[in-house]
Chain A
């Protein structure tokens, strides 16, 4: 019995050390050695080109448009950046509970979300598109042709795409799940007929998975886009974020970031 206990203890200790040296869900980005404080970003890294995990010089890190913006925000504040990776629907709760300082996750400022948190200006206007299988693209000429009870349409749960699907395809079968990669898997397995995602995200999949096609249809309001979220009433941080976003957009650096990240995602 004592042997068993000590064995268990030894294994536990070993595992503890082993898994600590491995990966975790927190990533730090040192902006400047002299900065001592950290600002914490909440994100959900399964959404290229906004944010996704990648190997950079042998180490696992998160990259993407949102990460680049967060780095700029951190720099403007004179702080280093810490990024916490969680499931998408946890992000706003974490923000409300003060676990993170701000959220950048390709998040669209919907009315429901505005009740919970405050949003910055829109930093990226993204069109929503409909991703379908190449083999079926000819049968979907209009939005109405997709709104049929025999079809199944998917979107990420809790996203604006979900609302769009509910609005436009009230007759079709719908499926809302958490992860976009799973949605696309189901699409290419023909378990779904269409998936509504943002254009840059859809283009990433188009480049990496064959047999997919983006329909040439307009869905949703193109004015909508992604914004940063902060705790309700945190006007100080919001002002800094807006300032950073404005200077990024007016200097053209934002276009560069978006271009770079879209390219990075293509390989």
Chain B
């Protein structure tokens, strides 16, 4: 085994900018996925049968198919010319991001729904009996309590997303796995590259998971 490439700043640079891209993709997908995730979550909680069914089938469909299939499908449907923006090839970044957002929104919507349902029914009844309307109840009573359950679970989703983004290597988005293929081909050190990349992924996911555990504790004190 020859790990000498780890000491070469050129290869390190490639790997670390790949790491940055991975983190960026995961962050964007969780942040915007959470915003989008509210839509199916509320649709599913609503009393309208149609909205409920639409949202339920959306979530089940997305959760029941692999991300790889979704990415490839969306990539083949979204036809964009090659445009470079700030050094990123948008023709593969946009379809890739879109697929990730759709995927993330389905998972996050379940997290949000779970968070909202975890708030005891008495809270809603009390708020309504105090004369608040539905909207006020949701915004001022239910959501602030639900957030405490949502945030830690979002952290786990973030960790999952960091790992899932490795799929984008196929589209040529320069994330960590793509960086690995570059290093692998240049150095002929295939096994060693994979070991280093595994360590880098772990360096990202382990502290994130720990950090989320800490947040969870903090938030549970505030109850």
Contacts and interface: CB of A to CB of B under 8 A. Distances in A.
Given A25-B89, A87-B172, A98-B81, A19 B188 contact: no
Contacts of A178: 170
B82 A84 contact: yes
A87 B171 contact: yes
Nearest to A84: B82
B102 to A, nearest CB: 19
Contact of A22 (B21, B31, B91, B181): B21
A40 B170 contact: no
Interface in B151-185: 169-174, 178-179, 181-182, 184-185
B130 interface: no
Nearest to A58: B10
A8 B27 contact: yes
B13 interface: yes
B172 A20 contact: no
Given A55-B186, A93-B76, A23 B181 contact: no
Q: Which of A20, A45, A208 has the most chain B CB atoms inside 10 A of its CB?
A: A20
B205 interface: no
Interface string B91-103: 1100000000000
Interface residues of A, number: 46
Main SS of the interface on chain A? mixed
B86 A20 contact: yes
B82 A26 contact: yes
B24 interface: yes
A12 B20 CA distance: 10
A52 to B, nearest CB: 5
Contacts of A145: none
Contact of B188 (A8, A55, A208): A208
Contact of A86 (B14, B79, B171, B182): B171
Interface of A: 1, 8, 11-12, 15-16, 18-26, 40, 45-46, 48, 52-55, 58, 60, 82, 84-87, 90, 93, 97-100, 178-179, 181-182, 184-185, 189, 205, 208-209
Given A86-B170, A185-B191, 4 more contacts: A8-B27, A22-B13, A22-B87, A40-B82
